[in-house]
Each structure stands twice: as C-alpha cells, then as structure tokens.
Chains A and B, each alone.
Chain A
Amino acid sequence: MDGDPAEMNMPQSLASIEVKDDMDTRSESENQPEGDALVDISFCGSTPLLWKVSDMRRCRSVGVSGALVGALARQPRQNVRLGRPLELLQEEALLLEETSTGVASQHTQDCGDEEMHSAAVRQYEASLESSYKEQCALALQDKKTVLKKIINEKENVTDDSGNAIRDRLNALDQAFRFPWPAMAVQLCTARAGFSHCPEERSFLSTDWPVPRDERLNTRFCVYRDLRNKGFYLTSAGKFGGDFLVYPGDPLRFHAHFIALCLSMDEELPLSDILAIARLGSNVKKTVLLCSPQSRSETGKDESVEGDVVYSSLQWSSMV
C-alpha cells in the first residue's frame, strides 16, 4: 500500500502550478505496482462507502477525498472530527471504477455453509483465549516493572517498605490475577478476518449499483474534467452548487470555486444565476457554470471524451 505518504503528496503541491505536470505524475502513480490493490467500495443503500484505511489512503493519493461520516474511535461523542466510514460522492466512486482503482464490493448476507461458520466461531474463540493469555503475561510484566521501579527509587530511603515491596514482587507470580473482563478486545471497524463470508466483487460495470442518469452523467463529466485538471472537489450542497473546487488538498486549502453543472441545452432563469453568484461573492468564491460539450459538437473522435465549457458571471459597468 501507499507506504510513503510524501510521495503521494507530490502531485498535490504541483497541481495548481502546472496542470500538465499533475497529469503526468498521476499516470505514473497508476503504473506503480502498489496501485494494483483495488479499493473496495461498499454500498449502503445507494451510498458508496470506504471502510479500510488502506483504501482511503489510496483514494486520497488519486485526489478523491470523500467525506467522513462515522464516529471517531478516539472520541466518539463529538461532531468536530469524524471517523470511518468515508462516504464517496457518486462521481468519486465512478471515477475510481473508471480508472480501475476501485471496485464495487457486494456483501452477501449469510453464507449457508454451516461447517465453515462453526470453524470461524471456533477460530474466534481460540483467538480470544490466546489473546487473554498473552495479555495476562503482559499485565504481569507491566506490574513487575512498576514494582521494580519503586524498589529502585526507595532503595536509599527505608529498608522496611522496600522489603515489603520486594516480597510482593516475589509473590507476584503466584498471586497475580488478571480477570477475564479486564481483557482488552477490539471492536473492528471494517469487516474483520473471521468475517462470515468473503465479499464478492463485481468487475463488470453493468453491476454498478447506482443507475447512471442524465444528471449524474453531466455531473460526472464535470467532476472528471476538473479532477484531471488537478483540482480537488467536494460536495457543495450548502452553497447551492454541485461541487466546491479546491486548488489543493481540502485539508489545507480553501475552495476557490462553486461549480454548477448544467447540460448544454438546459435553461436556467437569470434570477437563479444571480442568486448563486451573489452567494458566491459573499463567501469569496467564484461561481462556475460548467457544461459538458457533447462529442459531436467538439468534432473530435468518438473515443475522446468531450470537453467541458466553463463560464462565470461578472458585473460589467457601462459608461
């Protein structure tokens, strides 16, 4: 997996300076052997989710940031920092699928094989047992080191209390009890090793769980084009647009544009454009009207994807 995070950040810092550079590094990273591990996109209803940190790292390395929606393991009862799972936009999931970075993984509800299941249960119980033993030993070790440390500190003070502690230390091997409830267990976030069933992955694009309609196609064209130009995108629902467009990783940079996706022949009342343009200037962002050009219009070959036309509204004064 992405062992060296510095490497995957390179494209990000270059992105806004030279778009072409970014494209090159991106294709390079795709050729790296580690890129071969496919990202598991699990669907909850129609929402694409990522569960494994390795998958999330891989996605971020190709500029797909997503949004965290779960409770953070470290402090679950707050909303400032959230944790896994990572929710993807439909467009992000489609991009992963199209670039063969990710694949939709379907979970089967129950697998009927009783034998396999009871083997898994046995494996789980055995792992608990061995974990208990190991933690028992670790706890004993821990206690001993604490006592030894106290002895070392107290050596030059009084002999009596030092002796008492030394006695306790000697008796520890017999007297030490590590109760079963004190054992630490892991509450797995992603599906764990002794999972009920292996996931099924669908490699066929026809198996994609979300139907692609006109609107999704328009949005996806715009998303892919802006991403290929090196921008980072997140959802812009609260700004009344389709995407927020960032010049670098959204962790560190402010968004510059609000992208509004419209098909070429779509009519929009001027009042709507004015409303969103006003809102955009209030939050110091430029509103982009983005319309994918159909292939026939661009006059390019069928295999080449159409371009996207970007326009923004500017007030002009006539004197």
Chain B
Amino acid sequence: MADRDTSTTDAHTLNVYQELLSPSELFEARSRSHKIPLKGQKDFLPDGSEKQTARLQQRLDEHWTLLAEERVERLGNLVKAVWTPEERLVELQSPAGKFWQTMGFSERGKQYLRPEEALYLMECGNVQVFYRDLPLSIQEGYERFLSSETVTLHQYQVFGHLKRLGYVVNRFDPSLVPSTYERQLNLPASSRDKQRKQLKRKRSQSPVSRDKQNTSPVEKTTAEDQSDELVKSSESPLESADASDRTWWMERDVQSPPPQVQSTAPRWDFSSISFPDLGSRRSRSVCLASPDRSLLPGALEVGDCDVAPWLSRLNMKQEKLSRRDRERQRERDRYRRDVNSDREVRRCRNWAEYFQLLEDRRRRGQRDRPAHLWEREVTPLTQPGQCASHRELLDQINIVKPSSWSEGVSRLSPSDQWKISFDVYQPDTVAEFKKSHPGKPYSRMCVCRFDGPVPDLHAMKQLSFQSGDVPVTFAVVDHGDISFYCFKDFKLPTDVY
C-alpha cells in the first residue's frame, strides 16, 4: 500500500497539468468546429460483429473528443468577476455582457451575480471568476458556489437545464408573493409591482431592516391604487377565487351582530312602537307628537317636535330620471318587487304585524305540503316544483360540496419539506423580459427526487396557495436526467342535464 501511495501521488501531480492547454493549442482553438455529431440509431444486441465494434468505436471516439474539449475564449470576450464567499455572491469587475438583461442585480453601485448565475455563465464561457487573484475552474465553481445555503447541486441542475432551454430563471422569493390579506383585498397586479419596485429602491438605499421601514409607504400606495384600479381588477382572472373570499367577509358581518341585538332586545316591545315617516310626501304633518315616556332614558323630557325646519332641509324634489335610468329601473323592478309597493305590507303598522304577514304567506305557500315531511326537524333538501332540471335538483341535494385547492389553505401550517426554488419566465423570444418589471412568472419550480415522496394534498395546497395563480411544476432530478410533472385541479364532467 505504501508503495502504491507514492506512485499514485506522482501520477496525480502529472494529472493536474494534463488538461492545461499550451499557447499554440489555445491559438488553434479559435478556429475549431462548433458542430455536434449526431447520435445514430442504437442496436438491440451486441453480436460481436466487426461492423458493430467499429461503430461503437466511432461513437466512443466522438464522445471523448467532445468531452476532452476545453473552453477557450478571447480575453476581451470574458467578463471578469470576483467570488466573495462571505456574501455568497460574485461581483463583476468589468462591464457586463448581454446576460445582464436577464441575470444579476445591482446594489450599492456594484453589479452582482448569484452563484448559480455565475456558474452557468462560467459554463457558457462568458464569465471568468477569480478568487484570491486566481481564476476558478468549473470544478472549483461547483465546489465553492453550490451549497445548501445557496442552491444545491440538484437545484443547479434544474436551473442549468432551464437556462439552456432559454428560459429566464430567478430564485423564488416568498416575500414578493402577495400575502393572504392582499389577495383577499383583490389588489390588482400592477400595484403589487409598484410595491416590488419600491422595495428594490429602498433596498439600495439602506440594506438594513428594510422590511420594517417599508410597510407604511407600501400600504399607502396600495390603498390609493385600489380605488382607481378596482374596475380593471374585476376583469382579472383572479376574480373568481377572490369572490369567494369576499363572501366570507360578508358572512362574518352578517353573523356577528345578532348576539348584540338579543342582549338589548328585551327592553322594548317593537310591536307597539310605530315609526314616524318624515320623508313621505303624503304625511305632511309639521309637528311630531312627543314619544312615549317609557321609551326615553331617565329624566329626559321631550315635548312636541316641530319638524318644519328639518323638512325644509330635506331634498323633497321629485327625483328626475333620465330615460336610460328609468329603463334600468323598470328592468330591475320586473325581477325585484319593492316591498313598499306591496299593499298588504303597507297595511302593517309595526314590525310584529309585518312578521305576522310574512309567516301567513309562508303558511299559505306550504299549505299543500304534507305536514309529516315539512313540520319536523328534518326536512327535504328540495321543494317540489323548485327545480327546472336534473342538474339543479342534483345541485340542491348535494351535501358534500366539491372543494378546490384554493379553499381553506390559510389555516394550514407551512411545510418544511416542500419549497419553491425558482420563478421561471418564458424565453426572450416569446415575451420581452425586464428585470425591473418581471411580471407574472410562467411557472414556479419545485425541485425533488424520484426516491423522495410525492407531495401530499397538504403540500400541494400549500404550494399552490403560495404561488397564487402561477402554476407550480415539480422538477425531478435523477442522476442528470430531469423530468417535470405538475398536478392540475380536475373537475369531474357531469353528463346530466
């Protein structure tokens, strides 16, 4: 073993210089071919024939020639950069190339690349990265740049794969995704972008504790934007999802008051209190009789009330409607009858009489219903004659409602195992990409492995909620082989009409 050690270290030191090119080789490399040999059809079984051996040999020769080729670039075409391990960033030292349109960022007047971007550009032969005055090889780039704090090798493989396909790939930043609250308010996308821009400007001024500083100005802009953008937002595809959120608000408003009403109700019997109607043109009484003493608090005394000065302040003019308004009102009235135009309702003098009337009407409507079905605790889900079609009937007797992914996610705790890694934008040829205004990503990437688990419904809901209306794609890395899959919300087709 000792013998072997000495011989291998000798061979090893030789190896280190083996792949360095001589100046003449470098010079000749300028005019080398850029063609890639085609892969031919494979054979089924090795038959030991000379023809097959020769073909395999040819393929192997091509293979090794391609792999052995080293990157050679003119110094003038290379962007020089320096690796700063403390910040885990690569700082540019010379003017950036075309790649700056889609990669990198500026901070405090300096231009930076994230490690995965720098590594990709090293592999493309665009950037030469130095560390302690020496150029880093691609191998050193992999070893130094890739870690669990930056991006892992698997994440980088997905990054590189997508970049090579032409996609614009950025690291996913959860803080730039609108919060639950923002989504409930149905903030339009444009105001979110403004917010994002502002974040960026702030960041360059004072990098410390920017999150706290920003909250107030951001809220101001969003509130302003909301009013003038509401019209637009109603057309946005977000609407359907957000509409359900709004009804939730409404429900809460409706539900919460009753306990208060109940607590104060016993003091007055509303059935015996009649309400004055000042606005009515028919009852032009100038004077209101003093109210019942029992209804007034404590020692308060109220005499007759002269309402004439109040009436003079009221706008009593007949409302003049344009022809269109009149038409619209007629249209509305056709479907929604005004309670006040109901003669029986008008005859009611107080709430008790009104409620009695409603109860009578309900009874009248249900007279032909069998009492054993309708007067007990459990009643049928649907009423006779209420449904016009099978579908309507099925909808009414449907107790367990179908649920979509977006429902009830805010209650779920975020999972540690599943994280979105990248925002992916379509290639520049499809849509022009602007770093300052990236807009909505085409998709978001979640990197995983074949020997890991498939995301459960919890993780799926969590991820799709976090991503909003941008689809989440899973990139599976299997020893250099990358496959993509995604889950889609599926609505079962119904064939009953």
Query: Does B179 sit at the interface, judged by CB under 8 A?
Result: no
Residue pairs across A and B with CB atoms within 8 Å: the count is 270
Are the C-beta atoms of A184 and B480 separated by less than 8 Å? no
Would you call B494 an interface residue if the criterion is a C-beta within 8 Å of the partner chain's C-beta atoms? no
Question: A201 vs B12: C-alpha distance in the bound complex, in angstroms?
Answer: 10
B60 at the interface (CB under 8 A from A): yes
- The answer to whether A248 touches B36, judged by C-beta atoms less than 8 angstroms apart, is no
A37 and B8 contacting across the interface, CB-CB below 8 Å:
yes
Which residues of the other chain, B, contact A274 by a CB distance below 8 angstroms?
none
Closest to B8 in A: A38
Q: Which of B4, B132, B153 contacts A45 (CB 8 A)?
A: B153
Q: Mark B48-68, 1 if CB is under 8 A from A, else 0.
A: 100011011101110110111
Alpha-carbon gap, A203 to B157, bound state (A)? 29
Given contacts A135-B27, A191-B139, A248-B56, 8 further A-B contacts (CB under 8 A): A5-B64, A17-B46, A40-B15, A42-B143, A70-B138, A77-B124, A184-B26, A187-B137
Given A36-B4, A120-B134, A139-B27: A252 in contact with B18 (beta carbons within 8 A):
no
Interface residue ranges of B131-159 to A (CB < 8 Å): 131-135, 137-140, 142-144, 146-148, 152-154, 157
Are A134 and B73 CB-contacts (below 8 A) given A71-B164, A76-B124?
Answer: no
Segment from A46-54, A147-155, A292-300 that makes contact with B: A46-54
Could you say which of A47, A82, A138, A183 contacts B24, with CB atoms under 8 Å apart? A138
On chain B, the residues within 8 Å of A249 by CB distance are 56, 60
With a 10 A CB-CB cut-off, give which of B12, B19, B24 has the most chain A CB atoms: B19
Complex Cα spacing A45 to B449, Å: 15
The answer, yes or no, to whether B259 is at the interface (CB within 8 Å) is no
Contact A54 B15 (CB under 8 A): yes
A37-B8, A56-B67, A248-B46 given; A190·B137 CB < 8 A: yes
Binds B, one of A8-16, A169-177, A265-273: A8-16
Q: Could you tell me the distance between the alpha carbons of A56 and B24 in the complex, rounded to whole angstroms?
A: 26
7 residue pairs from A and B, CB less than 8 Å apart = A51-B139, A68-B480, A73-B69, A180-B75, A181-B74, A188-B71, A198-B16
Determine if A74 and B69 form an interchain contact, defined as CB atoms under 8 angstroms apart.
yes
Establish whether residues A184 and B27, one from each chain, have CB atoms under 8 Å apart when the complex forms: yes
Asked if A253 and B71 make an inter-chain contact with CB atoms under 8 angstroms apart, the answer reads no
On whether A135 and B139 interact (CB within 8 A), knowing A67-B480, A237-B450, A248-B46, the answer reads no
**A44 interface residue per 8 A CB criterion:** yes
Is B298 engaged at the interface, CB distance under 8 Å to the other chain? no
- The interface residues of chain B lying within 8 Å CB-to-CB of A68 are 67, 480
Contact yes or no, A187 B483, CB < 8 A: no
B397 adjacent to chain A (CB < 8 Å): no
A318 at the interface (CB under 8 A from B): no
Shortest Cβ gap from B33 to chain A (Å)? 8
- A196 CA to B131 CA, complexed, in Å: 9
Bound state CA distance, A67 and B134, in angstroms? 30
* A193-B17 in contact (CB<8A): yes
Which residues of the partner chain A approach B45 to less than 8 Å between Cβ atoms?
16, 247-248, 253
Task: Please tell me if the beta carbons of A189 and B137 are within 8 angstroms of each other in the complex.
Answer: yes
B46 and A253 contacting across the interface, CB-CB below 8 Å: yes
Given A52-B15, A185-B26, A196-B132, residue A71 in contact with residue B124 (CB < 8 A): yes
- Contact B44–A254 (Cβ < 8 Å): yes
CB atoms of B24 and A134 under 8 A apart = yes
A26 nearest CB across to chain B (Å): 16
Tell which of A16, A82, A189, A201 touches B480, judged by Cβ atoms closer than 8 Å. Answer: A82
Q: Nearest Cβ in chain A — how far from B405, in angstroms?
A: 26
A184 touches B46 (CB 8 A): no
A97 at the interface (CB under 8 A from B): no
Q: Which one of A83-91, A158-166, A220-228, A306-314 is at the B interface? A: A83-91
The interface residues of chain A lying within 8 Å CB-to-CB of B137 are 187-192, 195
Provide the residues of chain A in CB contact with B24, threshold 8 Å.
134, 138
Q: Which of A83, A87, A187, A190 contacts B73 (CB 8 A)?
A: A187
Question: Could you tell me if B56 and A185 are in contact, using CB atoms closer than 8 angstroms?
Answer: no
B residues near A202, Cβ cutoff 8 Å: none
Q: Kindly list chain B residues whose C-beta atoms are within 8 Å of the C-beta of A78.
A: 36, 164
CB-CB under 8 A for A238 and B481, given A17-B46, A189-B139, A253-B46: yes
10 A-B pairs closest in CB distance = A181-B76, A237-B478, A67-B480, A237-B450, A134-B23, A188-B137, A71-B123, A187-B71, A235-B479, A248-B46
Report yes or no: B139 in contact with A196, Cβ–Cβ below 8 A: no
Known contacts: A67-B480, A189-B19, A237-B481. The answer to whether A53 contacts B27 by CB under 8 A is no
Contacts of B26 in A (CB 8 A): 131, 135, 184-186
In the bound complex, CA of A78 to CA of B68 (Å): 18
CA distance A57 to B48 in the complex (A): 22
* Interface membership of B371, Cβ < 8 A: no
Neighbour of A79 across the interface among B67, B74, B164, CB < 8 A: B164
Asked whether, in the complex, the Cβ of A12 is within 8 Å of the Cβ of B56, the reply is yes
* B7: A residues at CB distance < 8 A: 36
Q: Which of B60, B132, B152 contacts A5 (CB 8 A)?
A: B60
Residues of B contacting A56 with CB < 8 Å? 67
Would you give the shortest CB distance from A13 to chain B, in whole angstroms? Answer: 5
- Report the Cα distance A237→B154, complex, angstroms: 15
- Contact status B73-A184, CB under 8 Å: yes
0 or 1 for each of A1-32: is its CB under 8 Å from B? (1 = yes)? 00001100100111111000000000000000
Residues of A within 8 A of B11 (CB): 36-38
Q: Is A121 an interface residue (CB 8 A)?
A: yes
Measured CB to CB, the nearest residue on chain B to A76 is: B124
